[in-house]
Amino acid sequence: MTDDIETQRKKLRIRAWRRGFKEADLILGRFADVHLDGLSPASLDAFEILLDENDADIYAWIIGKAATPDRFDTPVMDALKGFRVDADAAFGDGPKE
């Protein structure tokens, strides 16, 4: 079972970095690099399902430009939103007032 989870993590890391939408790549790829190893199997599955969605939609949900649909309003999405804010702050690209 451990091998299956490791294989899933490797595939998800690749999918997170190869979105084809630069902003989504940066958020999802960096999130995957930092958090995938610590996610539970259920959270890995939730992340995988999320990656099946359109990049522009995912990005809009993460940055708060569009409401997150209930089925994607999960702890993984909460972690992505928090990660995005933390990462932006670290790079000096935090929210503008």
Q: Are 50 and 39 in contact (CB under 8 A)?
A: no
Return the CATH superfamily for domain 2-90. Answer: Flavinator of succinate dehydrogenase (1.10.150.250)
Q: Are 45 and 30 in contact (CB under 8 A)?
A: no
Higher pLDDT, 18 or 94: 18
61-77 per-position pLDDT tens digit: 999 999 999 999 999 99
Q: What is the pTM of this model?
A: 0.82
Q: What is the DSSP string of 40-52?
A: -HHHHHHHHHHHT
The structural domains of the chain, with segments of one domain joined by +, span 2-90
User: How many CA atoms within 13 Å lie on the side-chain side of 93?
Assistant: 9
Amino acid sitting at position 8: Q
Q: What is the pLDDT of residue 96?
A: 43
